[in-house]
């Protein structure tokens, strides 16, 4: 129903813009890390930590959401709250391990969102419409996913120059 689908759509729309922030913070990690005494080659590993945590959490959370007693919406809200808290604490990160923990938390929560959103999309329609719902979902979110990296790159160029 629209009552169920609208909040999910709005959350996904908001989360689609997180890569812009993530790239803004982490693409300038060399400078951010250098200010904290972290070499550039070590700071590049933050992307690996984030990707690994995201992959593992997508698999685990998807398995958890398969059970009927778990509410995927609650997991999504908890993940978004955790991402917000971690990002709010990021300016206080002063060592390599602090930023590594941020990358792991961010990646884990991103994976939680990615694993749960499919259950939300498919769960808000009747069983014979699940393929249409999933296709519509991919069609709606694809433009922002495709446009995000170039916009983020331009944003970094404009803000760093």
Condensed to tens digits (0 to 9), the pLDDT of residues 66-85 reads 887 888 889 999 999 999 99
Q: Is 75 exposed, middle or buried (0-12, 13-18, 19+ CB in 10 A)?
A: buried
Q: What is the pLDDT of residue 161?
A: 60
Taking the model in full, what pTM does it have? Answer: 0.71
Q: Are 111 and 54 in contact (CB under 8 A)?
A: yes
Condensed to tens digits (0 to 9), the pLDDT of residues 99-154 reads 899 999 999 999 998 889 888 888 888 989 888 988 888 888 888 888 888 887 88
Instruction: Give the integer Cα–Cα distance in Å for 100 and 46.
Output: 6
Instruction: Give the integer Cα–Cα distance in Å for 64 and 161.
Output: 45
Q: What is the pLDDT of residue 2?
A: 46
């Amino acid at each position: 129903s629209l009552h169920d689908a609208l909040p999910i759509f709005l959350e996904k729309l908001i989360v689609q813009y997180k890569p812009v922030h993530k790239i803004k913070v982490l693409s300038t990690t060399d400078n951010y890390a250098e200010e904290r005494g972290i070499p550039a080659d070590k700071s590049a590993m933050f992307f690996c930590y984030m990707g690994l945590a995201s992959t593992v959490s997508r698999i685990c959370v998807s398995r958890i959401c398969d059970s009927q007693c778990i509410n995927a919406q609650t997991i999504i809200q908890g993940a978004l709250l955790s991402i917000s808290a971690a990002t709010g604490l990021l300016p206080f990160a002063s060592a390599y391990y602090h930023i590594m923990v941020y990358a792991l938390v961010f990646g884990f929560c991103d994976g939680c969102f990615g694993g749960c959103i499919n259950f939300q999309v498919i769960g808000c329609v009747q069983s014979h419409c699940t393929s249409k719902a999933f296709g519509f979902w991919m069609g709606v979110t694809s433009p922002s996913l495709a446009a995000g990296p170039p916009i983020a790159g331009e944003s970094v160029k404009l803000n760093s120059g």
